[in-house]
Amino acid sequence: MPRPNRAAFNKRDSWLAVQFWRGSTVITSRIAARLEWQYGAEVSSVSSLLEEAEVRVFHEAAEEKIAAAVVILADGSVDELLGAIELMETDWRDLLIAADLAHADWSSRMDDIFGAN
């Protein structure tokens, strides 16, 4: 019996996980509002990239501050968004540090940037 193709298996599992989460809201309303403001017509594609990355890394929706950190670092640039997603995939803790969300006051920093929750 041939061995299963692990790469195909992982790709299929990732796709299934993303499809499972598509029906749920991964990005909070205040993050979505910021994405809409920064990316306009590209917001759907940008949101999908972010949601898919969260599922790949965490196998579920991540905490709001993870998505916030990506949005903060991206600052409206698709290239920077891809870099922030890559940082999240490499080490999400470094992502939080880079976005200044790794400290005890991260919640108030998010409120300052995205508005009160």
Residue 86's pLDDT band (cuts 50, 70, 90): very high
Task: Please give the Cα distance from 106 to 116 (Å, whole number).
Answer: 13
Nearest to residue 93, comparing CAs of 72, 51, 65?
Answer: 65
Q: Tell me the per-residue pLDDT of 89-99, one tens digit each, with 9 for 90 and over.
A: 999 999 999 99
> Which carries the bigger pLDDT value, residue 117 or residue 68?
68
Residue 39's pLDDT band (cuts 50, 70, 90): very high
- The identity of residue 26, as a single letter, is V
Q: Per-residue pLDDT for 23 more than 70?
A: no
Percent share of the chain, pLDDT over 90? 62
Helices (H), the chain: 6-22, 29-39, 43-58, 64-74, 78-90, 92-98, 106-114
Residue at 107 is within a domain: yes
91 is written with which tokens? 């080490």
Residue at 1 is within a domain: no
Residue 94 lies in domain? 6-114
Residue at 38 is within a domain: yes
Residues 6+ apart with CB under 8 A from 10: none
Residue 27: per-residue pLDDT: 85
**What is the rounded average pLDDT of the residues 50-60?**
87
- The identity of residue 101, as a single letter, is L
Residue at 102 is within a domain: yes
Q: What is the pTM (predicted TM-score) of this model?
A: 0.76
Q: Per-residue pLDDT for 104 more than 60?
A: yes
State the total domains in the chain.
1
Task: Please give the Cα distance from 70 to 106 (Å, whole number).
Answer: 14
**What is the rounded average pLDDT of the residues 14-39?**
69
